[in-house]
Amino acid sequence: AKAAGRGKHCFYEPSMHSEAADRQLLENDLRQALDRGEMWVAFQPIVRVASEEISGFECLVRWNHQTRGPISPDKFIPLAEECGMIGRIGEFVLQAAIAEAAGWPDNVRIAVNLSPIQFNDPNIVDAVAALLAEHDFEPARLELEITEGVFLADSDATDGTFARLKSLGVRLALDDFGTGYSSLGYLKKAPFDKIKIDQSFVRGAASTTKRNGAIIRAIVSLAESLDMDTTAEGVETHDDLYLIRELGVSQVQGYIFGKPMKAEEARELANSSRVE
Ligand code: C2E
Ligand code: CA
Ligand code: CA
Ligand code: CA
């Protein structure tokens, strides 16, 4: 059947067929990745701009494929969302991140990404609550990063989930701000503690046009008037850091302070930030 199929499809782009086949192979491997121990969680420092102290770490999933090596989450997270695997992967990340950070100083936060599909799972609040209880983890040390994608679903259920997560005491961050649909309405609706300014406004902001700086300034003033923190993502250079500081952004995350790193390295950094 395969050979016939190949003959039939010879008028299409040859890459189309192999892309679909490649995707299927990757999906099969993705289904086994957790059981094979191929996934792990990396931690990237988030630093307070004013003091340059570590405020916390974003927890980012990694997949080390047995033959292909590391595969980017930009590639496998969308696949996991489409093939129904994101729930298990997300639960793995939450569990691994909380278990690791439970041993860190309690002034160091962790931020974990929640896919819209996970967020809209009716069991999400109970799952988070159970993990916090199991590891005796202070809820305010956990920040959940959510994108505007969550608002595409049923709004009553979404509102309910926001309220229940807030009453658990966890923090909520609106991720990739500025890249989505009509962000301003969502800011009014949902109880976010933080806005993460997308890298596309941040990277090279100091050297390119004045527009990115103007946008960042506007986001900061909006966040301040709504009593929210801001984190600028993707800060790589001293020039950008300087601009970010001038514009009043409260925290930065970027290669300038550290790439996503293994737990052991993050633990060491977290411990060095201990306030005695
Ligand atoms: P994100 O949530 O916006 O995460 C930030 C991404 O920017 C990370 O890429 C991080 O490594 C990268 N980054 C941070 N600072 C810099 C910088 O200075 N320069 C550059 N060039 N890049 C920087 P990563 O780890 O490849 O993750 C990509 C995306 O995959 C994430 O974007 C997030 O949307 C998704 N993702 C990663 N881990 C998870 C997870 O556990 N669950 C879910 N649902 N999504 C995840
Ligand atoms: Ca994020
Ligand atoms: Ca982001
Ligand atoms: Ca992103």
pLDDT digits (tens, 9 = 90+) for 242-260: 999 999 999 999 999 999 9
Per-residue confidence at 1, pLDDT binned at 50, 70, 90? very low
The torsion region of residue 127 among left (phi > 0), alpha (psi -120 to 50) and beta comes to: alpha
What is the dihedral sign for C-alpha 139, 141, 146, 151? positive
Please name which ligand lies nearest the alpha carbon of 253: 1
Distance, in Å, from the CA atom of 92 to the CA atom of 62, rounded to the nearest integer, reads 11
Residue-level pLDDT at 17: 67
- Whether ipTM exceeds 0.95: yes
Is the dihedral angle over the CA atoms 146, 148, 150, 156 positive or is it negative?
positive
pTM value > 0.90: yes
Decide: 147 in ligand 1 pocket, CB within 6 A.
no
- Mutate which of 30, 60, 124, 200 to test ligand 1's pocket (most atoms within 8 Å of Cβ)? 60
Determine the 3-state secondary structure of 156 from DSSP.
Answer: helix
Separation of CA 122 and ligand 3 centre (Å): 24
Closest of 139, 267, 121, 254 to residue 193, by C-alpha: 139
Confidence of residue 14 (pLDDT cuts 50, 70, 90): low
Residue 203 has pLDDT above 50, yes or no: yes
Rg (CA), the chain: 20
Q: For residue 114, give the ligand 1 atom closest to its CA.
A: 44
- 5-9, 109-113, 121-125, 161-165: range with lowest mean pLDDT: 5-9
- CA separation for the pair 69, 63 (Å, rounded): 8
Alpha-carbon gap, residue 178 to 198, rounded angstroms: 7
Q: Which of 100, 121, 130 is CA-nearest to residue 112?
A: 100
Which has more pLDDT, 175 or 5? 175
State the closest ligand 1 atom to the C-alpha of 253, by its place in the atom list counted from 1. Answer: 15
Q: Which pLDDT band, with edges at 50, 70 and 90, does 124 fall under?
A: very high
